[in-house]
Amino acid sequence: MKELKILALLIGLTLITYIGIEPIAHAVMHPHMEGPDFQYQDLKAIPGQGDAVKGKELTQMNCTYCHSIKADGVPKPVTKEDLIAKYGRSIEKSLSIQMTFDRISNRYLSEMYTAAVPLDLSNVASVFDEKYLKHFIKDPAGTAFESTFILHKTKKMHLDIAKAKSEEQIEKIETTTAADISTFKAKNKISMPAQSHLTSQDINDIVAYLKSVSKPIDGRESLALACGRCHGVAYDKLEPTTPSKILNKYLGMVPPDLSMSIRSKGHEYLTIFLNDPQKVLIGSSMPRVGISEETESKIVSYLESVGDSKKEDRDSLGMWVILYMTIFSILAYLWKRKIWKEVH
């Protein structure tokens, strides 16, 4: 009888801890974060169908003096002669190796604009969200930075105003918010110029063309395309395409290597951050990149496979531990019965 009481007490205490205390502790240590928004609700839809043939022409006129499109035979806007003119005859020989040519031409392009190296446009339509892509082409900085910074900053302002005690305080909150917004706008720029001369129909045509050359790509390639101008994955021999000196000038810092980000940040944080950095790190100099939900889950799985390759082993070990504990408890119980039988 005594044992049963002890057992009941133990079960009671465990339940109180599990149902009562744990969720409170969890809520304090990991405050609830709003999930990712893959609808990109802050952006207005640009509806309509495009014409890929017209789009090709528009892309050649407006985009290929910065971006290559390997899938359609459009090379990088740099020649060997440009590189020799800038860096000297001594590099001529090494330029016949594709990897060296890529590296030096990336350096050339990033130095020319003091900016991240423009990505190859072949597969952008299969990696980025379509609505986001249309907006980005028209207004890169507004779409990647300002829209969401202003959204979160304004939300926070209203929360602060609701808590304010006087008119003066409210006024102060409003002026600091306005000042923060203009500082942020001046600081964070995307070096791709806004294409405000393009009509909505032009944008639809360009995106129709980009879709027509696009192929689906895996997690590693998606990361290289969407993040690779700023981040590397050293564990998997992925180097950022932009030299770190230029990144430092362009972004005010060198973005971290992503090899271990799944361990240091965790799955939930990454899913929200990659969708919209400003939601969790307001003021961050990482732009919103606008990848689709599918691309994001490919990239996160890839980062898991690089940074946490033992995760599957660990998860499957759990079942064995439970099985071991069960067998062990039965044996312990049988043993206890035997001993006490002799005593009584």
Residues that bind ligand HEC (CB under 6 A): 59, 62-63, 65-67, 113, 115-116, 118-119, 121, 124, 128, 133, 136-137, 144, 190-193, 195, 206, 226-227, 229-231, 251, 253, 255-256, 258, 261, 265, 270, 273-274, 281, 284-287, 289-291, 299
- CB atoms near residue 160 (< 10 Å): 16
Q: Shortest approach of ligand HEC to residue 105 CB, angstroms?
A: 14
Least distance to ligand HEC, CB of residue 140, Å: 7
What is the DSSP track for 141-159? Answer: HIIIIIHHHHHHHHHHHHH
Which residue, 65 or 320, is less far from ligand HEC as judged by CB? 65
What is the nearest approach in angstroms of ligand HEC to the Cβ of residue 67? 5
Q: Could you tell me the smallest distance in angstroms from the CB atom of residue 300 to ligand HEC?
A: 8
Question: Residue 128: phi, psi to the nearest 5?
Answer: -90, 155
Q: Which CB, 78 or 226, lies closer to ligand HEC?
A: 226
Neighbour count for residue 303 (Cβ, 10 Å): 26
- Dihedral pair phi/psi, residue 137, rounded to 5°: -60, -40
Query: Which residues partner with 233 through β-bridges?
Result: 238
- State the nearest-atom distance from the C-beta of 250 to ligand HEC, in Å: 7
What are the backbone dihedrals phi and psi of residue 233, each rounded to the nearest 5 degrees, phi first?
A: -130, 90
Residue pair 210/67 in contact (Cβ under 8 Å)? The answer is no
Cα angle at 138 between 252 and 174, to 5 degrees? 60
Q: Which is nearer to ligand HEC, 144 or 150 (CB)?
A: 144
Beta bridge partners of 238: 233
Which residue, 17 or 200, is less far from ligand HEC as judged by CB?
Answer: 200
For ligand HEC, the closer of residues 173 and 279 by Cβ is: 279
Closest to ligand HEC by CB, 34 vs 171, is 34
Q: What's the number of CA atoms in the CB half-sphere (13 Å) around residue 275?
A: 23
Q: At what angle do helices 219-226 and 293-307 cross, to 10 degrees?
A: 110
